[in-house]
Amino acid sequence: MSEIEIGTVMTDGTVFAGLSPDTGKMLFVMPADAPVMDYLATTDHMSTLNREKTHGHDDWRLPTLRELLVIFQNKEKGRLKGTFNEAGMGKPFQPVSGRVAPGQYRASDWGGMGGTRAVVFKNGSPTYIMMMEPCSVRYVREGDMSDFPAPPPAPYAPSEITSARQSRLKKLLQTPKREAQSP
C-alpha cells in the first residue's frame, strides 16, 4: 500500500481523513458539510446519498465519536483545512436545547435520553445533541487503497551504470563477428 497524506483528495472526490480508531481502516469524508439538520433529516439525507451512490459509494454513515475526534485532530491538514464549521454554540457536555448547533458535529453514538454524542469543532470537546436539535454533519465511509486506482509508475531513469552497460552492449552488437581461425 502506498502512503497517502491526510487531507488528500481521492479520485472519487472524497478526502482521506485518517484511520478509524474503531476498525483500523482508512476513513474518507465528504469534501464539505451536509446542510445543518436534525437527526431524522440526517438519516434521510444519508439514505439519499447511499441510494444515489454519491461519489460512487453506497456506504455513507455518521462517524463514531472516536472517528469524529480523529477528524477534528486532522481538520487543518491538506484539503480538510477550512472546510469545517467552527462557529460552535453551547457548552461542552451540555445539550444546547432549542437552538441550532452549527459547529457541533453529530456522531452515531447514542448519548442517552433521546440524543447522540457530538464534537464541538471549535475546541474538540465532546458534547451531547438532542435528536431534534439541528447541527453540523459530515458523512464518512471506510475503505482501503484497493478502492482507488494505483498511481501511475514513475518515469524510468536509468542509472549511470545501466547507461554504460547499454553503450558497451551496443558496441558489441555493432562489431562484426570474427570467424574462428583454423590452426
- The percent helix, strand, coil of the chain (3-state, each to 5) is 25, 25, 50
Task: Go through 140-155 and write b for each residue having 16 or more CB atoms within 10 A of its CB, e for each that does not.
Answer: bbbbeeebbeeeeeee
Look at residue 170 in the predicted model and tell me its pLDDT: 73
Look at residue 152 in the predicted model and tell me its pLDDT: 53
* Within a domain: 7: no
pLDDT at 116 over 80: yes
Look at residue 65 in the predicted model and tell me its pLDDT: 95
How many structural domains comprise the chain? 1
* Within a domain: 154: no
CA distance linking residue 25 with residue 42, whole number of Å: 24
pLDDT in tens, 118-174: 898 888 889 888 888 888 999 999 987 666 655 555 566 666 766 777 777 777 777
* Within a domain: 83: yes
pLDDT in tens, 1-44: 457 899 999 989 999 999 999 999 999 999 999 998 999 999 99
pLDDT in tens, 63-96: 999 999 999 999 999 999 999 988 754 444 344 4
The mean per-residue pLDDT over the stretch 95-114 comes to 71
DSSP 87: -
* Within a domain: 36: yes
Q: Which three cell numbers stand for residue 123?
A: 475546541
* Within a domain: 9: no
Domain residues for the domain of 74 are 15-146
CA distance linking residue 95 with residue 130, whole number of Å: 7
User: Of residues 107 and 112, which shows the higher confidence score?
Assistant: 107
CA distance linking residue 70 with residue 64, whole number of Å: 10
* Within a domain: 40: yes
In 62-123, beta strands by DSSP E: 101-110, 115-120
* Within a domain: 101: yes
Look at residue 93 in the predicted model and tell me its pLDDT: 35
Look at residue 115 in the predicted model and tell me its pLDDT: 86
* Within a domain: 61: yes
